[in-house]
Amino acid sequence: MQNQELASKVKKLRKRKGYSQEYLAEKSGVSLRTVQRIEKGENSPRGDTLKRLAGSLDVNHDKIIDWERRNDHNYLKNTQLSALGFLIFPLLGIIIPLAMWLAKKDKITNINSTAKSLINFEITWNLLVLFVFLFQPVYTGLKIHLTHVVLAPADELYLIRNILFILLYGLNVALIIRNSIQIRKGENRLFYPSIKFLK
C-alpha cells in the first residue's frame, strides 16, 4: 500500500514535468526498468536512486519520502497525550494536537481520524467548561434581577460548579489516557461525546 502511494506520487511528478519514463530514466541515470517498477509499486526508491529521481524531478528527496504513509503508533499516542496541555491552559488541549496533526497529516496512517476525533472532543470540552464557568454568574444575576434579592447562598452554586469542573477535567484526563493506551496496543479509539467541528 505504501509503495502504491509512493508510485502514484512519482508518476504524478513525472507527468507534471511532462517527462516520459524513458526521459526520466535517462535524466536521472536510473534504468528504465527501475523507473517502471517504482511507478508500478513493485519497488520503492531508496538512497542514491531516490536522490537521483528527486533531483531529476526538481524536488527534495525528503518530499518524496514524506509522501509515504507509515504506521507510527508512538506519534499517534504522543498526539493524544499532547492534549493534556489543557491542564496548563484549556486551549492548549486543542492547539498542540492540531499542530501535531497538521505536521504529519499526510504521513502517518490513521492520524486524520484520531486527531480530528481528539480535536472535536477538546473543542466540545472547552465549550462545556466555558458554559459551566459562565453559568453561576448568569444564574445569580438572573435570580437577583427576577427577585431583587438573593434567596439562596451563592456557596451552593460554587460547590456545584466546582464539582462539574472536577468531573469534566477527570473525564478529559481519563479519555486521553485510555485512548493513548489503546493506540499503543494498535487499536484506534475515538473520543465521545463530541460535536463534529472537523469532519
- State which residues form the domain around 130: 73-184
Residue 30 in contact with residue 88, Cβ under 8 Å?
no
pLDDT per residue as tens digits for the range 158-176: 777 888 899 999 999 999 9
177, 94: one domain: yes
Q: Which of 111, 112, 79 is nearest to 96 (CA)?
A: 79
The answer on 171 and 98 residing in a single domain is yes
Could you report the per-residue pLDDT of 95-133, keeping only the tens digit for each?
999 999 999 887 787 888 889 999 999 999 999 999 888
Regions of the chain short of the pLDDT cut 50: 1, 146, 149-151
Residue 191 lies in a domain: no
Whether residues 85 and 25 fall in one domain: no
46 and 136 part of one domain: no
Residues 6 or more apart in contact with residue 124 via CB below 8 angstroms: 193, 194, 195, 197
Please state whether the predicted TM-score (pTM) of the whole model is above 0.85.
no
Residue 25 domain-assigned (yes or no):
yes
Q: How many domains does the chain have?
A: 2
Domain-located, residue 193: no
44 and 87 fall within a common domain: no
